[in-house]
């Protein structure tokens, strides 16, 4: 399957997700993109099967006394697309720092 | 799934959620609400923690755009490739062309009088154009299970009739609009150009209408998707090669040969066995 051509914003979001940022608010903070860009882009990436979402386990959230979050993970196709996007936008790798656990 | 928030959201956020959730398709509403309640809660929690360090990012735009995206996507999934959308687009273009004609002529009366003569010619030209289009139409499709699907056949013919009529009327109005500016100065040249442009536009339009019709599901009339090449063109004398399109609703597949051969002259529609419907529904 050929990689879909991603916009710079979508590539940046995909890069952030591939570096370990897992939810919309987190992606917004690290990329500096506005919420009006990030959330619809996440929907599009999920529709195109480049990312998949799942709910955080309820018990983890309860233990931290906060509501469960919706986590996004990059799929195999998404990893290939992120790699292609990094070649297309070489500065992308410098824009998002790797997430430390 | 239900999540309890450790502390309630501010009234504005609750109001915004209650308004925007109406745009989200019912099947996705609950999850959307949970996801946004969680995001908003985390935002306010962060704002409380870092009150003086930096302002928390605004999520209002994201929430609204996310709900609207889901709303638009729901419409897209419902209507994409449907016969209804096709006819609606043609009708919209027809109305636009009529509006352009109205602007060019100045009034309805003037538009009606200028179209009256051209419409008489249109009635003569249409049978000829239809004859030529059908004569040069490249392929006909065979339906393996056509005998038991009279209702679907009737639906297909009605759709083709409506699409063809709208296409011809649209092309007629477009050709009239194109030649209207020169009608006052050189009426004969304008009439000739109108006939010529209508013939060309109608041939192209009908060709598209037939091509589009051939690539629709024979049951639900949605556009077929996922074209897949099958076989190798270099082995054409030994085995079948061409492309296959499928109906996303699972009604069947259309096999289109790469080259017409004596043993495979036409495209073939293979309906999915009704027994698969039960499997698909479970």
- At B212-267, the pLDDT tens digits run 988 898 888 999 988 888 888 777 777 778 888 888 888 888 888 877 766 666 78
- Residue B147: the pLDDT is 45
Return d(Cα B16, Cα B19) in angstroms, integer. Answer: 5
- Residue B95: the pLDDT is 95
* A99 and A53 Cβ atoms separated by less than 8 Å: no
Of B214, B236, B255, the last residue of a domain is: B214
Q: Taking CA B212 as the corner, what is the angle to CA B124 and CA B266, rounded to the nearest 5 degrees? A: 100
> Nearest residue of B to residue A66 by CA position?
B6
Q: How far, in Å, are A83, A95, B66, B160 from residue B267 at the CA level?
A: 40, 52, 42, 18
Q: Are residues B123 and B209 in the same domain?
A: yes
Domain spans, chain A: 8-95
- Residue B43: the pLDDT is 83
CB atoms within 10 A of CB B97: 19
Has residue B132 been placed in a domain?
yes
Domain count, chain B: 3
Three-state secondary structure call for residue A72: strand
Q: Are residues B206 and B259 in the same domain?
A: no
Which residues of chain B fall short of a pLDDT of 50?
A: 147
Closest listed residue to residue B215, CA positions, set B163, B180, B264: B163
CA distance A73 to chain B (A): 16
Contacts of residue A47 in chain B, CB cutoff 8 Å?
A: 73
Q: Do residue B38 and residue A70 have CB atoms under 8 angstroms apart?
A: yes
CB atoms within 10 A of CB A44: 17
Q: Are residues B187 and B156 in the same domain?
A: yes
Please check whether the domain covering A8-95 is classified as CATH 1.10.10.10.
Answer: yes
Question: Taking the model in full, what pTM does it have?
Answer: 0.71
A25: nearest CB among B5, B39, B69? B39
Contacts of residue A29 in chain B, CB cutoff 8 Å?
A: 57
What average pLDDT does chain A have? Answer: 86
- Residue B204: the pLDDT is 94
More confident residue, A95 or B27: B27
Domain that holds residue B120: 83-214
- Residue B265: the pLDDT is 66
Residues 34-93 of B with CB under 8 A from A: 34-35, 37-39, 41-43, 45-46, 57-66, 69-70, 73
A71, β-bridge pairs: A54
- Residue B184: the pLDDT is 79
Q: Are residues B64 and B111 in the same domain?
A: no
Q: Are residues B101 and B175 in the same domain?
A: yes
B141, β-bridge pairs: B267
More confident residue, A5 or B135: B135
> Nearest residue of A to residue B5 by CA position?
A67
Q: Do residue B62 and residue A47 have CB atoms under 8 angstroms apart?
A: no
- Residue B172: the pLDDT is 94
Q: Are residues B119 and B150 in the same domain?
A: yes
Residue B273: partners with Cβ closer than 8 Å, 6 or more residues away? none
- Residue B253: the pLDDT is 87
- Residue B188: the pLDDT is 87
**pLDDT per residue over B142-167, tens digit each?**
655 554 578 888 998 999 999 999 99
* B16 and B63 Cβ atoms separated by less than 8 Å: yes
Asked whether the predicted pLDDT for residue A42 surpasses 90, the reply is yes
A74, β-bridge pairs: A51
């Amino acid at each position: 399957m050929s990689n879909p051509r991603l916009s710079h914003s979508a590539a940046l979001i995909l890069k952030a997700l591939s570096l370990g940022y897992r939810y919309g608010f987190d992606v917004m903070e690290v990329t500096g993109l506005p919420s009006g860009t990030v959330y619809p882009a996440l929907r599009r990436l999920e529709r195109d099967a480049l990312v998949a979402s799942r709910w955080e386990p309820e018990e983890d959230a309860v233990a931290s006394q906060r509501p469960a979050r919706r986590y996004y993970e990059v799929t195999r196709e998404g990893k290939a697309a992120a790699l292609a996007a990094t070649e297309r936008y070489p500065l992308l790798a410098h824009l998002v720092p790797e997430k430390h656990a | 799934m239900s999540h309890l928030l450790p502390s309630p959201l501010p009234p504005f956020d609750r109001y915004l959620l209650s308004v925007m959730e109406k745009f989200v398709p019912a099947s996705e509403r609950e999850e959307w609400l949970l996801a946004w309640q969680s995001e908003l809660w985390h935002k306010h929690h962060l704002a409380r923690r870092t009150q003086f360090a930096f302002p928390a990012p605004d999520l209002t735009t994201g929430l609204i755009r996310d709900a609207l995206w889901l709303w638009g996507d729901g419409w897209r999934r419902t209507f994409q490739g449907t016969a209804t959308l096709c006819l609606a687009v043609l009708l919209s273009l027809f109305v636009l062309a009529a509006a352009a004609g109205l602007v060019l002529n100045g009034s309805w009366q003037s538009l009606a009088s200028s179209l009256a003569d051209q419409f008489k010619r249109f009635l003569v030209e249409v049978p000829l154009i239809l004859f030529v289009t059908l004569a040069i139409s490249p392929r006909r499709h065979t339906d393996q299970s056509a005998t038991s699907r009279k209702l679907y056949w009737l639906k297909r013919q009605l759709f083709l009739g409506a699409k063809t009529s709208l296409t011809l009327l649209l092309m007629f109005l477009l050709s009239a609009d194109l030649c209207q500016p020169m009608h006052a100065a050189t009426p004969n040249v304008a009439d000739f150009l109108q006939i010529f442009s209508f013939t060309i536009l109608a041939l192209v339009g009908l060709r598209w209408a037939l091509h589009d019709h051939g690539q629709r599901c024979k049951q639900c009339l949605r556009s077929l998707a996922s074209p897949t090449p099958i076989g190798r063109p270099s082995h054409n004398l030994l085995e079948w090669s061409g492309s296959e399109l499928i109906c996303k609703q699972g009604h069947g597949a259309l096999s289109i040969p790469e080259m017409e051969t004596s043993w495979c002259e036409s495209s073939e529609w293979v309906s999915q066995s009704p027994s698969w419907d039960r499997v698909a529904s479970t």
